[in-house]
Amino acid sequence: MNAPPPTGGSEQVPAGGQPAAPDPRHPPAPAYAPPPAARSRAARSNWALRLVAGVLSALAFLGFWQLAAHTPRSSGNGYAPPAGTSGGLVQPGSFGGPPNGSTRIS
Amino acid sequence: MEAMPMLTTRARRGMNTDLALTVRVDAPSPDARAAAEAALTACAEWLEAMERRFSRFLPESELSALNAAAGSTRVVSEDLFTVIALALEAMASTDGLFDPTVLPALRAAGYDHSFDQIGQREVGAAAHGARSAAPRHGRGREVRLDAARRAITLPEGAALDLGGIAKGWAADALAARFLDPFPAYLIDLGGDMRVRGGPKPGTPWLIAIEDAREAPMLGAKEAASSGPRYLAGMHVSAGAVATSGDARRWWLRDGRRMHHLIHPHTGEPVRTDDGRTDDGRRLVAVTALAPTAAEADVLAKVAFLRGAPDGLRWLARGAASAGVCAFADGSLEASENLEEYLHAMALSPAHP
Write out pLDDT tens, residues B47-59.
Answer: 999 999 999 889 9
Residues in chain A predicted with pLDDT less than 70, given as ranges, are 1-45, 58-81
The pLDDT of residue B175 is 98
Distance CA B264, CA A28 (A): 89
Q: Scanning every residue of chain A, which has its alpha carbon at the shortest distance from the alpha carbon of B288?
A: A103
The pLDDT of residue B52 is 94
Which residues from chain B sit within 8 angstroms of residue A101, using beta carbons?
A: 20, 22, 186, 188, 193, 195, 205, 207-208
Q: What is the DSSP string of B116-174?
A: HHHTTSB--SPPPSPPPSS-SS--GGG-EEETTTTEEEPPTT-----TTTHHHHHHHHH
Nearest to B205 among A87, A92, A101 (CB): A101
Q: pLDDT confidence of B148, banded at 50, 70, 90? A: very high
The pLDDT of residue B214 is 61
Residues 6+ apart with CB under 8 A from B164: B87, B98, B100, B297, B298, B301
Residue with the bigger pLDDT between B207 and A47: it is B207
Share of chain B above pLDDT 90, in %: 65
Q: Scanning every residue of chain B, which has its alpha carbon at the shortest distance from the alpha carbon of A93?
A: B232
Residues 6+ apart with CB under 8 A from A77: B197, B198, B201, B202, B204, B237, B346, B351, B352
Nearest one of B29, B94, B85, B17 to B57, comparing CA atoms: B17
Task: State the alpha helices, DSSP H only, in B187-292.
Answer: none
Numbered residues of chain A with Cβ closer than 8 Å to any chain B Cβ: 73-79, 81-82, 85, 87-92, 95, 99-106
Nearest to B347 among A79, A95, A99 (CB): A79
The pLDDT of residue A53 is 75
Answer whether A103 sits within 8 Å of B241, measured CB to CB.
yes
Checking if the pLDDT of B239 tops 50, the result is yes
* Residue B193 buriedness (CB in 10 A; 0-12 / 13-18 / 19+): buried
The pLDDT of residue B208 is 98
Answer whether B192 sits within 8 Å of A106, measured CB to CB.
yes
Which residues from chain B sit within 8 angstroms of residue A100, using beta carbons?
A: 22, 186, 198-199, 205-207
Write out pLDDT tens, residues B158-186.
Answer: 999 999 999 999 999 999 999 999 999 99
Answer whether A89 sits within 8 Å of B233, measured CB to CB.
yes
Checking if the pLDDT of B237 tops 50, the result is yes
Distance CA B193, CA B236 (A): 10
DSSP for residue B352: -
Nearest one of B133, B332, B94, B52 to B213, comparing CA atoms: B332
Number of Cβ within a 10 Å radius of residue A23: 8
Among B40-44, B162-166, B233-237, B248-252, where is mean pLDDT lowest? B248-252
Nearest to B339 among A76, A81, A105 (CB): A81
Which residues from chain B sit within 8 angstroms of residue A104, using beta carbons?
A: 190-191, 209-210, 212, 215, 228, 243, 248
Average pLDDT over chain B reads 87
Cα→Cα distances B121→A56, A102, B116, B155, B256, Å: 77, 25, 10, 32, 11
Most confident of B96-105, B190-199, B272-281: B190-199
Checking if the pLDDT of B108 tops 60, the result is yes
Write out pLDDT tens, residues B12-46.
Answer: 999 889 999 999 999 889 999 999 999 999 999 99
Q: ipTM score here? A: 0.88
Write out pLDDT tens, residues B290-325.
Answer: 999 999 999 999 999 999 899 999 999 877 999 999
Distance CA B339, CA B337 (A): 6
Share of chain B above pLDDT 70, in %: 87
Which residues from chain B sit within 8 angstroms of residue A81, using beta carbons?
A: 235, 339, 343
Angle at B179 between CA B43 and CA B209, to 5 degrees: 85
